Amino acid sequence: DAKTTQPPSMDCAEGRAANLPCNHSTISGNEYVYWYRQIHSQGPQYIIHGLKNNETNEMASLIITEDRKSSTLILPHATLRDTAVYYCIVRVANNNDMRFGAGTRLTVKP
Amino acid sequence: DAGITQSPRYKITETGRQVTLMCHQTWSHSYMFWYRQDLGHGLRLIYYSAAADITDKGEVPDGYVVSRSKTENFPLTLESATRSQTSVYFCASNVASYNEQFFGPGTRLTVL
């Protein structure tokens, strides 16, 4: 019973920005939004996380709405290697039970 | 090599057999985790450990046993394997609970 809702699949053209949405309308004030991705058959890979403010790192940007009920992961210039399943997870920082949902399967096309 | 490794990578066993999956990390991370991923689904937490000799149940612990006598190792044992335990098992670790988790390459287990 993941606390997030994500579209099952999305396509993106190579070189364009990929915007992956996530709804978490029941998020609590002390819950963070985490993003991981899983490239075929590999272990998940951490991308980014945030609480309230927008965050950016070398891999992606995370935009969290002001009411915190949804967020968007942005891959600014998608490459074929970004084809993966992307998981949006909400959890309290010190809660070790990280619940993965079904995620969004992003396909980057040439 | 530094990192997190799992062994074996592939295992086929029969119903009722005992199977142990190994996980080893070289970072001295305090926390270690075991997840299972069934075909077409997300990961589910089986057990985790906050430090040596400290373990706790996750979402789906039934049928599994863990131990952590050393910080770097976190073996997962299926005492009597069942077909429903056919899955891909991932081990992970992190420095502290709020940090990102680093995942191993996975063990694909088939129970016949």
Task: Split chain A (110 residues) into runs of 10 and give each run's mean pLDDT.
Answer: 86 97 92 94 93 94 96 97 96 80 95
Contact A44 B103 (CB under 8 A): yes
A97 → closest Cβ in B41, B45, B103? B45
Test mutation, B5, B9, B43, chain A, max A CBs within 10 A: B43
Interchain contact B62–A (C-beta under 8 A)? no
Q: Report pLDDT for B30.
A: 92
What residues contact B17, with CB distance under 8 A and at least 6 apart?
Answer: B80, B81
Residue B42 contacts residue B27 (beta carbons within 8 Å): no
Cβ neighbours of A43 in B, within 8 Å:
90, 92, 103-106
Cβ neighbours of B97 in A, within 8 Å:
93-96
Test mutation, B99, B103, B108, chain A, max A CBs within 10 A: B103
Contact B42 A46 (CB under 8 A): no
Cβ neighbours of B88 in A, within 8 Å:
41
- Give which of B56, B54, B35 is closest to B45, Cα–Cα: B35
Q: What is the bridge-based pairing of β-strands B87-94 and B102-103?
A: antiparallel
Contact map slice: A 80-109 vs B, CB within 8 A? 87, 93-103
Interchain contact B39–A (C-beta under 8 A)? no
Full DSSP string of A38-81? E-TTSPPEEEEEESSS-EE-SS-EEEE-TTSSEEEEEETT--GG
What residues are paired with B33 via a beta bridge? B48, B92
Give the position of tokens 């967020």: A71
Q: Report pLDDT for A101.
A: 87
Q: Report pLDDT for B1.
A: 57
Residue B66 contacts residue B60 (beta carbons within 8 Å): no
What residues contact A41, with CB distance under 8 A and at least 6 apart?
Answer: B88, B106
Q: Report pLDDT for A96.
A: 77
B42 → closest Cβ in A32, A94, A102? A102
Q: Report pLDDT for B96.
A: 81
Q: Report pLDDT for A45.
A: 96
- Residuewise pLDDT in 10s, chain B (112 residues): 569 999 999 999 999 999 999 999 999 899 999 999 998 788 999 999 999 999 999 999 999 999 999 999 999 999 999 999 999 999 999 988 778 899 999 999 999 9
